[in-house]
């Protein structure tokens, strides 16, 4: 019974408020709707930044020394790719590397050291200045035997599809925000035939960035 009285009292109170408020509301001036009720706000957004891939240096494979009883020798070294990767959004990509034969710098007509014996032996995790999925960073990874491999579990030895007389895919990038700065390393070896004439030999390596095909 007391609960019922409480509810009735609340209803009566609301009715009283309504009766007092009604004259005040009716005294408000009417809106003529003759002015401009909308306007615009304007902003321009620019996408800047750079995407560039480059060799961070050359490679000196050392010396091969032969005598009459020597067999072919294998020389080892490392190369590195640098990335300036500051775009707010970029597409996926693959990076390939290819080498020419090693030509004698004194006499072009001397039989060169063939690039078929110049091979990738190992690739490593790519070091990135920023990474992750929030925001969606376009992480950069490495290939193994020209196959995509999982991130952060290298290094990966190469046992096939590794001869640099053909363009070989060594790094890839997912689409997304740039990593700011990154570096990808890979090891190489060169077989020098025991019939190679004495002298200094040099190969030219070329990297190419192509549209990516990540799974």
Condensed to tens digits (0 to 9), the pLDDT of residues 44-84 reads 988 889 999 999 999 999 999 999 899 999 999 999 999 99
Residue 215: the pLDDT is 53
More reliable by pLDDT, 49 or 152:
49
Rounded distance, CA 142 to CA 149, Å? 7
Rounded mean pLDDT of the chain?
86
Residue 148: the pLDDT is 87
Confidence of residue 130 (pLDDT cuts 50, 70, 90): very high
What phi, psi does 72 have (nearest 5°)? -60, 150
pTM above 0.75, yes or no: yes
**N-term to C-term CA, the chain:** 73
**Entry field: residues in the chain:** 215
For residue 74, give both structure tokens.
Answer: 């294998």
Give the model confidence (pLDDT) of 75-102 as tens digits: 999 999 999 999 999 999 999 999 999 9
């Amino acid at each position: 019974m007391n609960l019922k009285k409480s509810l009735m009292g609340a209803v009566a109170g609301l009715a009283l408020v309504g009766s007092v408020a009604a004259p005040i509301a009716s005294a408000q001036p009417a809106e003529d709707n003759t002015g401009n009720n909308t306007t615009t706000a304007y902003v321009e957004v620019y996408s800047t930044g750079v995407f560039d891939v480059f060799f961070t240096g050359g490679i000196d494979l050392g010396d091969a020394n032969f005598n009459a009883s020597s067999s072919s020798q294998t020389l080892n070294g490392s190369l590195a790719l640098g990335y300036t990767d500051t775009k707010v959004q970029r597409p996926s990509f693959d990076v390939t590397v290819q080498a020419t034969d090693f030509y004698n710098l004194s006499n072009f007509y001397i039989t060169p050291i063939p690039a078929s014996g110049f091979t990738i032996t190992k690739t490593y995790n790519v070091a990135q200045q920023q990474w992750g999925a929030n925001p969606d960073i376009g992480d950069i990874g490495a290939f193994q035997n020209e196959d995509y491999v999982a991130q952060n579990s290298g290094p990966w030895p190469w046992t096939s599809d590794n001869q640099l007389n053909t363009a070989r895919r060594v790094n890839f990038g997912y689409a997304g925000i740039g990593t700011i700065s990154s570096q990808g390393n890979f090891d190489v070896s060169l077989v020098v035939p025991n019939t190679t004439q004495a002298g200094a030999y040099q190969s030219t390596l070329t990297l190419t960035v192509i549209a990516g095909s990540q799974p």
